[in-house]
Amino acid sequence: DIVMTQSPDSLAVSLGERATINCKSSQSVLYRSSNKNYLAWYQLKPGQPPNLLIYWASTRESGVPDRFSASGSGTDFTLTISSLQAEDVAVYYCQQYYSTPLTFGGGTKVEIK
């Protein structure tokens, strides 16, 4: 199984400031033939279903605010919230879909400082 490791476990950021979440995979999730990274990011808020934010490591899902961006390749990935809003308080997960079983990171809780 590909193990996904996120850091930090939690972070507190002031409103309007930048939040950065890291995700590392135990093996590369880059398919060289397509040059695509099989990595997605989700947002989970209490009482709500998970919300897909990013796929192919950096493609924003339709309707996701552009303050959310993501980057990385191979085994190291980053999700950035450029200017944290109150509604961004949530737990964020990365997920690899390079191989089965599909696996998630442990989650990063984002709070307001």
Partner 1 sequence: QLQLQESGPGLVKPSETLSLTCTVSGGSINSSTYYWGWIRQPPGKGLECIGSIHYRGSTSYNPSLRSRVTMSVDTSKNQFSLKLNSVSAADTAVYYCARVTGTTGFFDCWGQGTLVTVSS
Considering the rule CB under 8 A, would residue 48 count as an interface residue with partner 1? yes
Shortest separation between residue 107's beta carbon and partner 1, angstroms: 5
Residues 11-30 that bind partner 1 (CB under 8 A): none
Burial zone of 51 (CB within 10 Å; 0-12 exposed, 13-18 middle, 19+ buried): middle
Task: Tell me which DSSP letter residue 61 carries.
Answer: P
Size of the site for partner 1 (CB under 8 A): 24
Considering the rule CB under 8 A, would residue 98 count as an interface residue with partner 1? yes
89 to 14, 24, 36, 49, 69: CA distances (angstroms): 11, 22, 29, 14, 16
- CB nearer partner 1, residue 16 or residue 49: 49
Q: Which residues in this chain contact partner 1 in the complex, by CB under 8 A?
A: 1, 38, 40, 42, 48-52, 55, 61, 93, 95, 97-107
